[in-house]
Chain A
Amino acid sequence: MLENEEKIVEKAQNGDNDALATLVNEYHDRIYHLGLSMLKQEQDAEDMLQETFLTLVEKIQQFKGNSSIYTWLYRIATNIALKKLKSKPRKYPHIPIDEPDFKKIHEEETKEEMEFDFEKVNNYKFRKILNDLLDELPPKYKTVFILRDLHDLSTRETAKILDLTESNTKVRLFRARNYLKEKLEQLKSEELMA
């Protein structure tokens, strides 16, 4: 967050282009990164970036300061990304809505913990596997995972951005995390991650 951000926002609202440029400069990396995380294609991320900041310029007078400016920007950007995803309809897998069967987990013999080789993320092929798995998640789960776990937003901020309750945000996050874990485990057992 910028020092004196409230004042900068106020100046931008009063038509100060330098203040506006300061805001764009501060947040455009994060928004571009969000675009890449959500849409994967560089061109789509760039379009999202442009649309987000055009909306900022157009609507900054409407910003009431009930949240931080970056939460507001994330909200604009996320809505644009979700619209783009909707415009390319596809079939998503069923995400189990039940809690994991902890009873079963407890009854099982202790299984060997899945090994994670964090260096593998430098491998293009492995990164593609991770991206494809993330892409399998329906947008409502993927978005929560990206905002909370990849962009480090709080549960409260994520809930605000997506118009959800905090409990619903937590539930979606847990389902997304669990889905990805299960899929990685499945891939590992299929030895595709070797």
Chain B
Amino acid sequence: MSKEKKMFEKVCEYLGCDLDSEPCQELQEHLHKCPQCEVFIDEIKNTVKLYKKADECEDTPKSVSKKLFATLDLDKPDEDKQEED
């Protein structure tokens, strides 16, 4: 397998992993020398970041939570009761 092909596989493997994890040294070295790959990886990272930001949401609405506990016939733990009082 060519060195280039191996490198592409490493880039793909990295892009399916934790994006904040340190890529292997060889890949880092490649990225420093390769602006095309760097742009590609940064765009993937920023896409994920954008979705993560858009997905930030508040807690379950109180009415939904209350209905859930009623359906399950369970008492809500104290902290919620206190908040409601």
Contact = CB atoms under 8 A, between A and B. Distances in A.
Contacts of A46: 64, 67
Given A28-B60, A49-B64, A174-B16, A114 B43 contact: yes
A84 interface: no
Given A21-B75, A170-B17, A105 B36 contact: yes
B1 interface: no
A28 B71 CA distance: 13
Given A32-B60, A114-B46, A178 B39 contact: no
Nearest to A174: B16
Given A106-B36, A118-B49, A181-B44, A29 B60 contact: yes
Interface in A34-89: 36-37, 46, 49-50, 53-54, 57
Interface of B is mostly: helix
B60 A111 contact: no
B72 A57 contact: yes
Contact of B48 (A33, A54, A106, A177): A177
Interface string B32-67: 001111011011101111111111010110001101
B74 A21 contact: yes
Nearest to B15: A174
A50 B43 CA distance: 38
Contact of B37 (A20, A54, A102): A102
Contacts of A169: 16
Interface string A166-187: 0001111110011011001100
B68 A177 contact: no
Contacts of A111: 36, 39
8 contacts: A21-B76, A24-B69, A32-B60, A50-B67, A150-B52, A177-B15, A177-B44, A184-B47
8 smallest A-B Cβ distances: which pairs? A170-B16, A174-B16, A121-B54, A32-B60, A102-B8, A21-B74, A181-B47, A116-B46
Interface of B: 4, 7-9, 11-13, 15-18, 34-37, 39-40, 42-44, 46-55, 57, 59-60, 64-65, 67-69, 71-72, 74-77, 79-80
